[in-house]
Amino acid sequence: MIPVFFYQNGARSFTIVKVNPILLIRTGGWQMAAIAVDMDEVIADFVGKELKLFNRLFHESVTRDDLRGTSLRQLKPEFSDVLLYLRNTNGYFADLEVIPDAQQVVRELSRHHNIFITTAAMEFPNSVTDKYNWLRRYFDFIPELNYVFCGDKRIIHADYLIDDNSRHFTHFSGKGLLFSSPHNYYEKAENRMNSWNDVLKFFGEID
């Protein structure tokens, strides 16, 4: 294909190529990034749900600050099994709150980039239907074919991965953006995102 016309205006560009006898317009192309977005603790408030349920069931008063550098299962090992059991019950992932500003920012990013939701749903197989319905409810602007319910995230190939677990960056060929969550509070990260506004700023600067 031989480009016959190229136009660029800031981050926007397109090339018109002539493929005899069809004229194709290729928009964006090389400037559109593939952004993989994790669910729990990135767009879905997993810790909020776990704390609320745990405190109510067991008359405790654990806060997000108590979980800095740890997890509830590590902080309360005597409840570890029951916490795991709860996570794997139907409906557990159905009513998670949306992380502040996630909807607006992901919607904005989806106008310029390809967004994929990449979640290690196989850790909790019963979560799959809840997660699917949750995405249809709150992120219906992302095509269903862009949902990647996976096990090992090493299979993910994208330009960026926004995740609260830095272990997923180890074999990731793109750039990892660490989304802040209490458990990663003390981790050093090259690209730490404390909020979705940080994410918006990050992509605003690279566009």
Given a contact cutoff of 8 angstroms between Cβ atoms, the answer to whether 205 and 109 are in contact is no
Distance, CA of 129 to CA of 88 (rounded, Å): 12
Pairing of strands 12-19, 160-163: unpaired
38, 45, 50, 130: which one contacts Mg ion (CB under 5 A)?
Answer: 38
Q: Give the shortest CB-41-to-Mg ion separation in angstroms.
A: 4
Active site residue 130: no
Nearest to Mg ion of 15, 102 (CB atom): 102
Closer residue to Mg ion, CB minimum distance, 45 or 164: 164
Instruction: Give the number of other Cβ atoms within 10 Å of residue 91's Cβ.
Output: 10
**Known catalytic membership, residue 40:** yes
User: Which of 36, 40, 92, 183 touches Mg ion (CB under 5 A)?
Assistant: 40
Please identify which residue in 15, 36, 37, 41 interacts with Mg ion, judged by CB under 5 A: 41
C-beta of 33 vs 99, nearer to Mg ion = 99
As measured in angstroms, the least distance from the Cβ of 119 to Mg ion is: 7
CA distance 116 to 170: 19
Contact at 8 Å (CB) between 181 and 149? no
Calpha distance 125→129 (Å, rounded): 9
Q: Which of residues 122-181 bind Mg ion (CB under 5 A)?
A: 164
Binding site for Mg ion (CB under 5 A): 38, 40-41, 164
Please give the positions annotated as active site: 38, 40
